[in-house]
Structure 1
Amino acid sequence: MKLIIAIVQDDDAGDLIDVLTEENFRVTKLATTGGFLKAGNTTLMIGVDEKDVDRVLGTIEEECKTRDQVITSPSPIDGATGVYVPYPIDVEIGGATIFVVDVDKFIKI
């Protein structure tokens, strides 16, 4: 048995969970926050048999596409203390960060 831990963008989480549950996979959703953009994301924990790992990874790849987004980041004005002017930055969001780990013991009560 394997545990797939997938960290996905909040915008992708709902559709991904729907598709996974339609394929009869059990999914546990955890609300988390990313460190870089300080934006909400979702961590999914999916317990699967080893033979199903590639199928789940393929589903995640299909549902969680990367895309560009413009965010504003404050920058200090030279010579002025405490004055910030926002400027746009292009960042890539979406996709997924995935960990696949072995499960020593699975208990369902």
Structure 2
Amino acid sequence: MKLIIAIVQDRDANKLMKALIKENFKMTKLASSGGFLKSGNTTLMIGVNEEYVDKVITIIGNTCKTREETVVSYSTTEATGIYMPYLSDSKVEVGGATIFTVDVEKYLKV
């Protein structure tokens, strides 16, 4: 048995969970937050037999696409010391999924 841990953006989470449920995969949903943009993430823990790992990863890849977002940066004006937001020219790639697959030594349901 394998445990797939998938970290996805909140905006992709519901669509992913529906796609997994449609294929009869069960999961546990955990709320989490990202590091780089401090945006909301969802962590899904999905326990599957080894032969289904690739199928689950394919569903995740088909559901959680990457996209570009403009970064909002903050600067301090010298005269007032006030933080002012401004749109920078830099764009970052967000979305997709971070996936970990680990061996499960023992599985119990009590």
Using structure 1 for the length normalisation, give the TM-score.
Answer: 0.92
**CA deviation profile, 1:53-100 (whole Å, cap 9, x unmatched):** 0000000000000000123110223x3463223232412110000100
Unaligned runs of 5+ in 1: none
Tell me the equivalent position of 2:108: 107
Task: Give the Å deviation of 1:108.
Answer: 1.2
Identity within the alignment, %: 60
RMSD of the alignment, in Å?
1.3
Tell me the equivalent position of 1:95: 96
Partners of 2:26 and 2:107 in 1: how far apart?
13
Letter in 1 for 2:99: I
Tell me the equivalent position of 1:17: 17
Using structure 2 for the length normalisation, give the TM-score.
Answer: 0.91
Instruction: Establish whether residue 75 from structure 1 lines up as the match of residue 86 from structure 2.
Output: no
> Secondary structure of 1:26's partner?
coil
Letter in 1 for 2:81: G
Unaligned runs of 5+ in 2: none
Letter in 1 for 2:94: I
Letter in 1 for 2:97: A
Tell me the equivalent position of 1:56: 56
Q: How many residues align?
A: 108
